[in-house]
Amino acid sequence: MPEKKVNILAIESSCDETSAAICRDGEILSNIIAGQKVHEQYGGVVPELASRAHMQNIIPVVHKACRDAGIALPEIDAIAFTQSPGLIGSLLVGAQFAKSLSLSLQKPLIAVHHMQAHVLANLISEPRPSFPFLCLTVSGGHTQIVVCESPLKMKVIGETIDDAAGEAFDKAAKLMGLPYPGGPLVDKYAQTGNPERFLFPEPQISDLNFSFSGVKTAFLYFLRNAGKSTVYKPEQTASEEEQEAFIRDNLPDICASIQHRIISILINKLKKAAVLTGIREVCIAGGVSANSGLRQAIRETGEKNHWNTYIPEFQYCTDNAGMIAITGYYKYLNKEFSDLSVISSARSEW
Amino acid sequence: MELIFHLDAIRDAARRFLAETKGKTVFAFHGEMGAGKTTFIHAICDEKGIRDIVSSPTFSIINEYRPEDAKNGEKIFHIDLYRMKDQEEAMLAGVEDCLYSGAICFVEWPEKAPGIFPPDTEHIYITLAGSETRKLRIGRN
């Protein structure tokens, strides 16, 4: 008789995406993501709206994930969910749903850390990195470099001390008056711009940590001074008309230049991490890995430095339950279960 | 009181700030984007021995840290109201629960929901005094 296969149902609700996935023996059979269009008109994710939308979405999303995978609820062996970090109201919706399902199906519950799951998204499909590998995880709320020694053994060796890379993109976009979500628009305008036309300072942080607040401040004054300098000089401040005209006339070059700096900050730390650890298997993960400039930079840097580089399929880069499912699968094999008293946490420590 | 400091001496400024505001629990940091609110709160948290990574809560709204010598689940909340539309939204996001919990709260963009702050909130105003120097004013004049 063949060995019984392990089916994991995973639920992710840490921010504005409600997602459910089914994984069988490490293979993702379905990965359903319901985005929340409602935030675009507010210029960002609104926590209360996010929780309400999760409540509306969660049952249809789980239902579709099971149907697409051809799995009925009784066939599920364990339920994995995102425990932390994220918006607390959003996390609670997924956690309560997972706990209720665990109780009613009498199947074990697996609490998953969102950031660990982003890293393990690289194990979902071929080509997979070999251990140990480095992973740069970049999203709207996080920027980290992680050394991953085995699926359940990883260590954060660098992270942002202020803004996340995705936040830097979004705030830069907002300063230029671009609509939400601004990051992808910066990337789009950057395609036709000259990345070397304007120079923004690189933060001097000695270890593997990141800082983007200095670049943000420089960018703010760069726009206020209509491109004449990146430092605060009240006497240089341009009129609002001049500032608007400057942005309008130079948008592609401005976008390309700020994108170039944000990416070079990421890549330089990744290069440093590779030298310090001697690891040449290098992955990226998180929503910002959709950025075309970052994808190109990681490929080129990899070729130059003889790294093998990996980028997960796009559906596994943004917030998704597929990555929670693969993490849940490894935790299942290791029998890392949680009881119903496990609490959601906004705290990012792991 | 007022404090003017170079960014290289931010830890000293944080130390003086803590001495000056001893006993207060809720701190509202006013200042435009790029003024250095997150950076200053980071320095205060370093002074308080927080080992958790302190970063911008713009995305997460509420960050929760634990001091190294935490007793009885002592917490510090780092809150950012930047993306809040109004007071009601901040309340629904659970911000009030933090502000009235007795825990230390550092709040950025307090002007997005001015009405939810307890009366003994310490207000701090951060402005640029030069590209590498900042002016910190504590208290409403």
Chain A: give the shortest CA distance to residue B12, in Å: 19
B85 → closest Cβ in A42, A87, A161 = A42
List pLDDT tens digits, range B17-47.
999 999 999 999 999 998 999 999 999 999 9
In chain B, where are the structural domains located? 2-138
- A167 contact residues in B (CB cutoff 8 A): 56, 58-59
Among candidates A87, A166, A213 on the partner chain, residue whose Cβ is nearest the Cβ of B39: A213
Which pLDDT tens digit goes with each residue over A101-119?
A: 999 999 999 999 999 999 9
H or E stretch covering B108: strand B104-108
Q: Does A213 reach chain B within 8 Å, measured CB to CB?
A: yes
Sign of CA dihedral A252, B59, B61, B92: positive
Residue of chain A minimizing CA distance to B53 = A161
Angular region, A3: left φ>0, alpha ψ -120 to 50, beta rest: beta
The structure tokens listed for A234 are 């009240």
User: If pLDDT is split at 50, 70 and 90, which confidence band does B139 have?
Assistant: confident
Q: CATH 3.30.420.40: does it fit domain A7-121+316-333?
A: yes
Count residue pairs from A and B with Cβ separation < 8 A. Answer: 93
Asked which of A204-213, A221-230, B52-61, B76-85 is least confident by mean pLDDT, the reply is B52-61
Q: What is the pLDDT of residue A3?
A: 72
Integer Cα distance of A277 and A106 in angstroms? 43
Fold annotation for A129-312: Nucleotidyltransferase; domain 5 (3.30.420)
Q: ipTM, 2 decimals?
A: 0.81
B7 touches chain A (CB under 8 A): no
Pairing of strands A78-84, A109-113: parallel
Helix (H, G, I), strand (E, B) or coil at B3: strand
Same fold, A7-121+316-333 and A129-312: yes
A44–B38 C-beta distance less than 8 A: no
Q: Is the peptide bond before B114 cis (omega within 30 degrees of 0)?
A: no
Residue B70: how many other CB atoms lie within 10 Å: 13
As assigned by CATH, the class of the B2-138 domain is: alpha beta
Cβ within 8 Å, pair B94-A88? yes
A346 touches chain B (CB under 8 A): yes
**For B129, nearest residue in chain A (alpha carbons):** A232
- SS3 sequence of A201-224: CCCCCCCCCECCHHHHHHHHHHHH
Beta strands in A69-214 (DSSP E): 78-84, 109-113, 133-138, 143-150, 153-159
- The tens digit of pLDDT for each residue in A137-186 reads 998 889 999 999 999 999 999 999 999 999 999 999 999 999 877 899 99
Question: What is the Cα–Cα distance from A216 to A200, expressed in whole angstroms?
Answer: 9
Domain spans of chain A, in order of start: 7-121+316-333, 129-312
Cβ–Cβ gap B131/A232 under 8 Å: yes
Q: Taking the CA atoms of A185, A179, A255 and A217 in sequence, report the sign of the dihedral they define.
A: negative
What do you get for the CA distance between the two ends of chain A, in Å?
A: 40
Answer yes or no: do B34 and A167 touch at CB < 8 A.
no
In the numeric block, which tokens belong to residue A34?
A: 């319901």
Smallest CA–CA distance, residue B18 to chain A, in Å, is 21
Element (H, E) at A123: none
Give the phi and the psi of residue A340 in degrees, each rounded to 5.
-70, -10
